Amino acid sequence: MLDNNKIPYAGSLDNAPVSRAATQQKMDKRALAVRSVSPSQKYSIADRLEAQAVAHGDAPFLIYQGKSYSYSEVDAQASKFAKAIQARGLMEGDVCAIAIENRPEFFFAWFGLTKLGVVVAFINTQVQGSVLEHAINTTDANVVIVGEECVQRFIDTPELANKSIWLVGDDEVVDKPVLPQWIDSSFDSDVAARSGTSCKQARGSTVGETPTLLIFTSGTTGLPKAAIYSHMRWLTSGDVMVETIDATPNDVFYCCLPLYHGAAATSVTSTALAAGSSIVVRRKFSVRQFWDDIQTHNITVCQYIGEICRYLLNYAEATGIKPKDHQLRCMLGAGLTETSWHRWLEYFGEMDVLEGWGSTEANTNLLNLDNYIGSCGRVPRWDRTNFRLVKFDTETETHVKDANGHYVLCQPGEVGEGLGMIINMPDFGGGRFEGYTSKQGTEQKILRNVFQQGDAYWRSGDLLRYDENGYFYFVDRIGDTYRWKSENVSSQEVATALAEYDGAELVNIYGVQVPENEGRAGMAAIVMQPGRQFDPQVFYALTIEKVPNYAAPQFIRVSKAADMTSTYKLRKVDLQKQGYDPVACNEPIYIRNDKLGCYQPYCESALQAAGFLPFCSNQEEK
């Protein structure tokens, strides 16, 4: 048990204790910051930008490829965009989509639209065709501001010719695309002709609860949904994080994740703007350039996703690079495993690692304020949070209920689904579920009459557990837990246990159906580091050491590349459909043989020896 007043501090490897009272004090400050903007308050993102442009003037706000843009310069550029956009007819309440990679023009267009009270839809710059068409139509946007670096995807999607496509040039594009007539290339010159003086404000009815952003979910299991973000939620998230990490104008944030995704556009940008800090913008994440950027720009705060930390650790191990001379003091993110966490501190030195849990659309979240390795947060008092963990049967994929039909709270050690009580108070924005553009999609994420008649909870779709000290641990996504040999298997826990296989870039675990067998057998898609070869005997030995026999992957697929979203989240649907069919996979497959104590290359005899039948590619539809 942990001492009541002290908790282990894992930000340093000596585990020096930190005061629990200090942690509670920080939590209290966070709770106050949630109230910084009220639902009815006439205060928007544009108001904050304009105020910070006055307060911080010549201080650097954006730094991109050696060029610095001050707060006043960013505000002036946003005003130029706003004037050009306003002259073209967009007004408060309209929706405009933007598809621009990480560069200053993304911010100029975004903030310019915000100055007019236009709702901004961030479009994934990696999609095209039906997925792109779906995204634009989902937002109800009739205008899309497109970076020249992304325009080919629109050209290849002629179904969007009925939209107004306004082009923002990109000096870094060498091979200029041939533009069809329906793409307007005059937008750049229109913006350049405007003055950067304060534009006429046109957001008269915009208040805190007014929608300002549409941010798409990752789409790991289907077409992405557009989550609604209000001015209030965006602003308060920054205010809360300023208190959390004690951010100041001296801090420098690193933005290397895609801005069209919630993490970079909300947490990084809102916190830096609230604190008057700087943001170093990198167009795309680079393993090789990461530490050069950190050291060159004296970056102090960085947002991460667990997979990019693994890439950085693997690269450091392969090259022997262990940068210690840096100013990085804080990492914010999710998905860092306990093993990688320890390795990170050993390689790169002491720093705060604030592992969290939540999602773009969530009305609740967890955050590890204590640097307690492996945990995604702690709940010291249940009366101060709208978060709840309820029992969930992974075999039947249903919630456990009591005799009265109410959901049952988990006890320490029990796995359940994370929920957020939906709070709708007129003068308080915390706990609101703002939903999606799809009413049906919104309703599907709400559970009603959970603990009493009339209540409502947002459901996360995530399985978690907590220990006796209130520390929470992410277990898996619902649906990613599968059953084999009458045992429930968490794909995430198996992946974490096997992630440190020597030479592996990543290990993706999922369940596949096996003819004439109940449940699903475990399968691993393994991507090896460049120059490294998969060793089936070594990997088998690792499974014996790390996981129970029923949880060990029965099939191995050695993949050339991971099937991931552009925000480094693993997709599994297509992998499950292909199963262990060598034709569908078209990659080396191995089959587990416990009698021989190894994984054998796929062949009929190996399949028979393991007692399996060939995979039926259409069985998922049955």
What region does 384 belong to: left with phi over 0, alpha with psi -120 to 50, or beta? alpha
pLDDT beyond 70 at 456: yes
Mean pLDDT of 201-216: 92
Mean pLDDT of 92-96: 97
φ and ψ of 441, to 5 deg: -60, -35
pLDDT of 477 reads 79
Q: Which of 512-516, 528-532, 591-595, 596-600 has the lowest mean pLDDT?
A: 512-516
pLDDT of 202 reads 78
Cα-based distances in Å from 337 to 58, 461, 492, 570, 573: 40, 20, 10, 15, 23
Q: Which of 407-411, 445-449, 568-572 has the lowest mean pLDDT?
A: 568-572
Mean pLDDT of 89-116: 97
Euclidean distance between the first and final Cα of the chain, in Å?
A: 49
Mean pLDDT of 287-310: 92
Over 17-49, what HEC string results? Answer: EEEHHHHHHHHHHHHHHCCCCCCCCCCCHHHHH
Residues 6+ apart with CB under 8 A from 95: 118, 119, 120, 121, 139, 140, 141, 142, 214
Planar angle of CA 241, 242, 246, nearest 5 degrees: 115
pLDDT band at 102 (very low <50, low <70, confident <90, very high): very high
Q: Are 449 and 440 in contact (CB under 8 A)?
A: no
Higher pLDDT, 396 or 49: 49
Residues 6+ apart with CB under 8 A from 177: 148, 151, 152, 155
pLDDT beyond 90 at 590: yes
pLDDT band at 384 (very low <50, low <70, confident <90, very high): confident
Q: Are 463 and 417 in contact (CB under 8 A)?
A: yes
pLDDT beyond 80 at 18: no
Q: Is 406 helix (H, G, I), strand (E, B) or coil?
A: coil
Nearest to 312 by CA among 130, 529, 62, 121: 529
Over residues 216-274, the pLDDT tens digits come to 886 544 567 899 999 999 999 999 999 999 999 999 999 999 999 878 999 999 999 99
pLDDT of 1 reads 32
pLDDT of 569 reads 66
pLDDT of 130 reads 83
Q: Are 258 and 125 in contact (CB under 8 A)?
A: yes
Higher pLDDT, 564 or 405: 405
What is the rounded distance in angstroms from the CA atom of residue 441 to the CA atom of residue 421? 18
Helix-strand-coil split of the chain, %, nearest 5 = 30, 25, 45
pLDDT beyond 60 at 16: no
pLDDT band at 20 (very low <50, low <70, confident <90, very high): low
pLDDT beyond 50 at 7: no
Sign of the Cα pseudo-torsion (65, 66, 70, 73, in order): negative
Q: Is 159 helix (H, G, I), strand (E, B) or coil?
A: helix
Cα-based distances in Å from 10 to 314, 341, 379: 22, 9, 18
Beta bridge pairs of residue 473: 465
Nearest to 48 by CA among 63, 36, 59: 36
Look at the block and give the residue holding tokens 């697929």.
557
Sign of the Cα pseudo-torsion (423, 428, 431, 436, in order): positive
What is the rounded distance in angstroms from the CA atom of residue 232 to the CA atom of residue 270? 11
Sign of the Cα pseudo-torsion (173, 174, 175, 178, in order): positive
Look at the block and give the residue holding tokens 């009458």.
486
pLDDT of 283 reads 95
What is the rounded distance in angstroms from the CA atom of residue 37 to the CA atom of residue 45? 11
Over residues 63-80, the pLDDT tens digits come to 999 999 999 999 999 999
What is the rounded distance in angstroms from the CA atom of residue 68 to the CA atom of residue 172? 17
Over residues 124-154, the pLDDT tens digits come to 898 888 889 999 999 999 999 999 999 999 9
pLDDT band at 516 (very low <50, low <70, confident <90, very high): confident
Residues above pLDDT 70, as percent of the chain: 93
Beta bridge pairs of residue 459: 419
Nearest to 441 by CA among 456, 459, 425, 424: 459
Mean pLDDT of the chain: 89
What is the rounded distance in angstroms from the CA atom of residue 571 to the CA atom of residue 50? 40
pLDDT beyond 50 at 15: no
Token duo for residue 612: 């399996």
Nearest to 230 by CA among 430, 83, 386: 430
What is the rounded distance in angstroms from the CA atom of residue 17 to the CA atom of residue 7? 5
Instruction: Give the pTM.
Output: 0.82
What is the rounded distance in angstroms from the CA atom of residue 10 to the CA atom of residue 22? 15
What is the rounded distance in angstroms from the CA atom of residue 466 to the CA atom of residue 472? 4
